[in-house]
Amino acid sequence: MSRPTTLGALRQAIAAGQVARRPVRTELRENLLARLKEGGPIFPGVLGYDDTVVPQVVNAILARHHFILLGLRGQAKSRLLRALTTLLDEAIPVIPGSEINDDPIAPLSAFGRQRVAEAGDDLPIEWLSRDRRYVEKLATPDVTIADMIGDIDPIKAARSGLALGDELTMHYGLLPRANRSIFAINELPDLAGRIQVGLFNILQEGDVQIKGFPVRLPLDILLVFSANPEDYTARGKIITPLKDRIGSEIRTHYPATLAEGVAITEQEAWTAREIPGGHKIDVPRYVREVVEEVAFQARKEPKVDKRSGVSQRLPITVLEHVVSNAERRAVLNAEGIAVPRVSDVHAALPAITGKLELEYEGELKGADKVAADIIRAAVAQVFEAHLGSANVRQVVEWFDMGGSLQLDDTASARTLLDATRKVQGLTDLVEELGIPGGAPAPVVASALDFILEGLHAQKRISRSESGKYTAGEEPVRRGGKADKRRERQMREDDDDDSGFGGGGGGRYYN
C-alpha cells in the first residue's frame, strides 16, 4: 500500500485502519507482543541475555516504563538500547520542516499548528523512518539545559521579525527533537543535577521554562538510560525525583559461560579479512576459547579491580591481535593459510594491559606480569578441557631426559613440524585434539603449539621468554636422607645461635 502524501489522505488512512496512530510506548508494546507471538530473537545481535536481561527489558516495555540499564563497561548496554528501534514502526508521518517531529493530526509546536492552519488537508506530509527515531546523548558535566531542552534563538527572531518571547523563536534541544522517538542518555550519573531536574519536569509535567518563557510540551517519548554501578555511587548520582520516575532498573552482566563469550567475540571481532596473495584465515576453536578464557580469568584475578570490571572488548581486541600475528607470520613465510596459535596470545599483551584496572598489589607486580599470569591460567584451563585425560607422559619424559625445542612466533609451520617430529608421543596428542590426518601444515603446527603451551601452563615443562621449551622444574622431594640431615643441621644452628652478632654460625635477624 502506498503511503498517504497529504494530511487529508492521512486522515482517511487512519480512519480506515490502514495507518496506526498511537503513542511511541504503546507502539513499542504492541510491536513487541507481535514479535513474541512470532517467536525468534527479540533483539538480534544481543547475545547472552536471553534468560536474564532480555525478559526484564521485555517486561519494562510491556509496562510502558522508562528504564535504566546498570552494568560495568563492555556489557552491551548501548547495543541493547539501540536495538529497541527494531520494535518501532517502519515509518511514521510528520510535518515537513518540524524540529520536533510534529504529528500532522495533533502538532505540538507553534510551527506545526501554523502549517496545519494554513494548508489544511492539502498539507504535504513526510515519513520518518525508524532509524531516525533514536536519539542518543552521552552525559557529560558540561551539558546545559539549552542542549537538552532548548533556548531562544535571537537570530531567528531578528530574521522573522518576531519578539523574543514568541514560541517561533525557540531553538529546540535534543529532548524535544526526540519527540515520538526513543531518547537514550548514556552514563546518566555524570549529568548535572539541574539538568536531571529539567528531564523529569518536561516528562512528568510536560512543561518547561526557556529563558523565563513557559512552554507546554507534552512530549511523546520513551526515555532510556545507561549507567555504571561504580559511577552510580562514586563520581555522580541520580537525583531522587528522577530515579522515582524511572520505572525499571535492569542489571546487565558479562557472559555467564565460555560458549556465550566465544559467540559474542566471534560476532564482534574482525577476523574475516582478505589478505593479499590469496591467504585464508582459520581460527581453531581452542584458540578462541583461550582468548575468551583470558577475560574470564581476569575477572577472577585478585590483582584486577573488580569494581571496574573487565570489558568484553578485551577478548575482542585480543582475538584481532592474535589473528594479526598469524597473518604476519603467514605472509612472512608465504603460507597459503594463516592459522593463529596459542603462543600468539602473548603477542596480544598490548590489547590486555590497557584494559585492566589493577589493585595496589597488581600495580606493584606490573601489568605485563599480571597479564602473563592470566594468559597462563587461561591456557591451562582450556588445555585441561581438551586434553585433560590424555596421556602426556611420553612428551614430558622426552623433555625430562634433556630434550629441548627452540621456537618463536614467526617460525613457519614446516619449521615447527620438523622441530617437533623428534618429540615422542606428540603426534598422538594432535590426533586426540581432533586434527584429522592430512590437515594443512599450519593447522597441525597450531595444534602442536597448543599442546606445548598447555604443558607449560600446567608446569609440566618449562618455556623461556625466548621461546625455548625444556624440562619442568624438578619437584621437591620430602622425607629423604638429605632432608633429615638438613633439618638436623638447622636445629643445631638454632641451638648455637646467641642472637644479634652472635658467633658460631648464628644468623642475623632484622
Over 90: is that where the pLDDT of 258 sits? Answer: yes
The C-alpha angle 42, 47, 49, rounded to 5 degrees, equals: 75
Average pLDDT over residues 205-215: 67
Q: Could you tell me what percent of the chain has a pLDDT over 70?
A: 87
Over 70: is that where the pLDDT of 41 sits? Answer: yes
The C-alpha angle 284, 288, 289, rounded to 5 degrees, equals: 115
pLDDT band at 508 (very low <50, low <70, confident <90, very high): very low
Do the Cβ atoms of 413 and 445 come closer than 8 Å? yes
Do the Cβ atoms of 354 and 321 come closer than 8 Å? no
pLDDT score, position 501: 38
Region of poorest pLDDT, from 127-141, 237-251, 267-281, 475-489: 475-489
pLDDT tens per residue across span 456-492: 999 999 999 888 999 987 544 445 554 555 555 555 5
Task: Output the DSSP codes for 329-350.
Answer: HHHHTT-SEE---GGGGGGGHH
pLDDT tens per residue across span 260-274: 999 999 999 999 887
Q: Alpha helices, DSSP H only, in 120-191?
A: 145-148, 154-160, 174-177
pLDDT score, position 198: 79
pLDDT tens per residue across span 320-378: 999 999 999 999 998 889 999 999 999 999 999 999 999 989 999 999 999 999 999 99
pLDDT tens per residue across span 53-65: 999 999 999 999 9
Return the residue matching grid coordinates 523563536. 169
Q: How many Å apart are CA 360 and CA 60, to the nearest integer?
A: 40
Say what the pTM is: 0.84
**Which three-class secondary structure state does DSSP give residue 13?**
helix
Q: How many Å apart are CA 249 and CA 257, to the nearest integer?
A: 24
Q: How many Å apart are CA 13 and CA 21, to the nearest integer?
A: 10
Phi, psi torsion values for 500, nearest 5 degrees: -60, 130
> Amino acid letter at 315?
P
pLDDT band at 207 (very low <50, low <70, confident <90, very high): low
Dihedral over alpha carbons 14, 19, 20, 22 (to 10 degrees): -60
Helix, strand, coil abundance in the chain, percent, nearest 5: 50, 15, 40
pLDDT score, position 144: 86
